[in-house]
């Protein structure tokens, strides 16, 4: 998974805070520990040496009441949790049940018995920290050991450690929070840019970033963004102007051509047979050219998003019946008007459509069937697969459309496997693409499947109106 920049900034801040608090916490913990321990060690040494002097003077005086001696030493050391071990004459004596000779680490004992004073800090098998200070007393062939319990120091250090740990967690969380804040702050201008870009993409070409409100560091971004949108807007407007100019420029000569052609056609009988044939050709191709131009302009309006749609509520079976009749009239290919089968369930259903747009849809499908499918075999109106939906199916007698091509046929100028069968006088290559666009703006859809005998079946779907929810005045 790839982390976003915001998450990464937050992670870096959190990680930084974590490393910093581990470092600072560790430093303070070990420094404190070092100083506390050193203090305790030197205090222990002082006390042990003082007690060793006491032991020596007692032993020199011939006093062998070891237990009393050691007890008095322990009593004198009130305030520290210390116990004494005394080696004298090959025997060891202890001041309390809390210690015994084996408490003394072997190496230290050997060193001290050999005549060197030594100190060692260690941890017993029970887990308590202790300092032992060994002082040889050569004058009486004895060795005095004092064992100091450090559990209070341990306790202090544990509390310190815990405190530092909590502080570390707190610092890390603070780091994460700070990171999130910083990332949000630094990404806010980008969010503004993204919002503005979204608005522009949805057609609000007047959207700009406010240079006065922009972060001084990001003024460059703001300015170049605005400059880019200026250019984009200009280009789009130029294109729209161009389209409308082209539309006007093409329509004018077409209007003249159509009107004069009609004058000639009205007087066809007076022309020579050769001229009559020429006129026939001219008329057919002029109509084809008109159709092509109007399809292209329709498509350019779809692209410019400047289609206005007027939906009105009509009875679906009447709509289909009338559209098929009109489509059959406008088709170049002559033949009987295909029958429309209306299922009883949908007979009184109403849909919200632009009637003339729907007529174009039916005409295009019928023309497509005539050119590629050997003509329409069946048209049905039936309840759709979804609730509140009606379907109009148009079947043809052709070889059908392969499943891989079933979405592509709705692309513009798509030349599929059907290309080879293109005859004279075929459509603009936009017919099915326009069918899809017309259905889309009427809140419906179109797809193609296979009819039971294997031909193509185009299926139009439209939402059904409940009661009186149509738009418009009526």
Is the Cβ of residue 186 or residue 247 nearer to another protein in the bound state?
A: 247
Task: Choose the binding region for another protein from 13-21, 103-111, 353-361, 395-403 (rule: CB under 8 A).
Answer: 353-361
471 binds another protein (CB under 8 A): no
Query: In whole angstroms, how close is the CB of 436 to another protein at the nearest point?
Result: 17
Q: Which of positions 265-294 make contact with another protein (CB under 8 A)?
A: 266, 290
Nearer to another protein, 12 or 297 (CB): 297
Q: Which of helix, strand or coil describes residue 143?
A: strand
Q: Which residues of 69-94 are buried (b: 16+ CB within 10 A; e: fewer)?
A: bbeebbeebeeeebbbbbbbeeebbb
Please tell me whether residue 307 binds another protein under the rule CB under 8 A.
Answer: yes
Site for another protein contains 312 (CB under 8 A): yes
User: Between β-strands 445-450 and 456-465, what pairing exists: parallel, antiparallel or unpaired?
Assistant: antiparallel
Distance (Å, rounded) from C-alpha 135 to C-alpha 49?
7
Part of the chain binding another protein (CB under 8 A), chosen from 194-202, 228-236, 347-355, 450-458: 347-355
Closest approach, Cβ 364 to another protein, in A, equals: 15
Is the Cβ of residue 196 or residue 351 nearer to another protein in the bound state?
351
Q: Does 248 bind another protein (CB under 8 A)?
A: yes
Q: Residues 6 or more apart from 100 whose CB is under 8 A from it?
A: 85, 92, 94
| Residue 313 contacts another protein per CB under 8 A | yes
Distance in Å from the first CA to the final CA of the chain: 56
Sole binder of another protein in the list 124, 194, 256, 407 (CB under 8 A): 256
Report if residue 412 touches another protein, rule: CB under 8 A: no
244 burial via Cβ count (<10 Å: 0-12, 13-18, 19+):
middle
In 95-205, beta strands by DSSP E = 118-123, 129-137, 142-149
Please select the residue that binds another protein; options are 152, 234, 262, 332, rule is CB under 8 A: 262
H-helix segments, 61-96 = 66-76
Q: Burial, 44: exposed, middle or buried (Cβ in 10 Å; 0-12, 13-18, 19+)?
A: buried
Range 24-53, binding another protein (CB under 8 A): none
Q: Does 223 bind another protein (CB under 8 A)?
A: no
Rounded Cα–Cα distance for residues 116 and 139 (Å) = 13
Q: What are 51's two structure tokens?
A: 């007690």
Residue from 90, 127, 253, 423 touching another protein (CB under 8 A): that is: 253
Q: Is there binding between residue 474 and another protein (CB under 8 A)?
A: yes
Residue 429 CB, shortest distance to another protein, in Å, is 21
Distance of CA 68 to the CA centre of its chain: 81
Q: Are 394 and 376 in contact (CB under 8 A)?
A: yes
**Shortest approach of another protein to residue 238 CB, angstroms?**
19
Could you say whether residue 326 binds another protein (CB under 8 A)? Answer: yes
CB of 373 to another protein, least distance (A): 25
The correct pick among 33, 288, 355, 406 for binding another protein (CB under 8 A) is: 355
Longest pairwise C-alpha distance within the chain: 163
Selection from 351, 395, 390, 349 nearest residue 369 by Cα: 395
Interface residues with another protein (CB under 8 A) are 247-248, 251-260, 262-263, 266, 290, 301, 307-310, 312-313, 318, 322, 326, 350, 354-356, 359, 467-468, 470, 472-474
């Amino acid at each position: 998974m790839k982390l976003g920049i915001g998450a990464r900034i937050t992670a870096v801040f959190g990680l930084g805070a974590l490393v910093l608090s581990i470092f600072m916490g560790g430093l303070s913990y070990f420094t404190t520990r070092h100083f506390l321990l050193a203090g305790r060690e030197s205090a222990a040494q002082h006390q042990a040496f003082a007690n060793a002097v006491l032991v020596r003077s007692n032993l020199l005086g011939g006093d062998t009441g070891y237990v009393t001696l050691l007890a008095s030493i322990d009593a004198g050391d009130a305030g520290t949790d210390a116990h004494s071990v005394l080696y004298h004459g090959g025997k060891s004596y202890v001041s309390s049940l809390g210690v015994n000779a084996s408490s003394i680490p072997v190496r230290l004992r050997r060193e001290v018995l050999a005549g060197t004073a030594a100190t060692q800090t260690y941890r017993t098998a029970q887990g308590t920290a202790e300092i032992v200070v060994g002082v040889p007393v050569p004058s009486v062939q004895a060795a005095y050991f004092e064992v100091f319990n450090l559990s209070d120091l341990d306790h202090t250090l544990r509390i310190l450690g815990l405190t530092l740990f909590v502080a570390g967690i707190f610092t890390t969380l603070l780091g994460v929070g700070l990171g999130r804040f910083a990332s949000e702050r630094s990404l806010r201008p980008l969010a503004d840019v993204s919002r503005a870009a979204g608005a522009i993409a949805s057609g609000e070409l007047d959207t700009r970033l406010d240079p006065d409100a922009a972060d001084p560091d990001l003024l460059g971004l703001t300015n170049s963004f605005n400059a880019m949108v200026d250019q984009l807007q200009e280009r789009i407007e130029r294109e729209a102007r161009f389209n409308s100019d082209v539309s006007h420029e093409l329509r004018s000569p077409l209007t003249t051509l159509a009107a004069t052609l009609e004058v000639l056609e009205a007087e066809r009988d007076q022309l020579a047979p050769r001229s009559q044939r020429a006129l026939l050709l001219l008329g057919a191709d002029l109509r084809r050219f008109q159709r092509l131009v109007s399809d292209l302009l329709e498509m350019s309006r779809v692209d410019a998003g400047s289609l206005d749609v007027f939906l009105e509520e009509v009875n679906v079976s009447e709509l289909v019946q009338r559209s098929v009749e009109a489509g059959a009239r406008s088709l170049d290919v002559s033949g009987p008007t295909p029958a429309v089968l209306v299922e009883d369930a949908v007979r009184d259903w109403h849909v919200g459509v632009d009637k003339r747009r729907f007529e174009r849809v039916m005409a295009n499908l019928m023309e497509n069937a005539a050119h590629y499918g050997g003509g329409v075999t069946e048209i049905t109106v039936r309840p759709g697969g979804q609730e509140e939906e009606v379907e109009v199916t148009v079947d043809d007698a052709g070889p059908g459309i392969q499943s891989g091509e079933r979405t592509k046929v709705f692309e513009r100028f798509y030349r599929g496997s059907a290309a080879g069968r293109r005859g004279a006088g075929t459509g603009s290559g936009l017919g099915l693409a326009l069918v899809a666009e017309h259905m889309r703006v009427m809140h419906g859809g179109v797809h193609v499947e296979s009819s039971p005998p294997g031909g193509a079946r185009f299926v139009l779907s439209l939402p059904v109106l409940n009661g009186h929810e149509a738009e418009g005045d009526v």
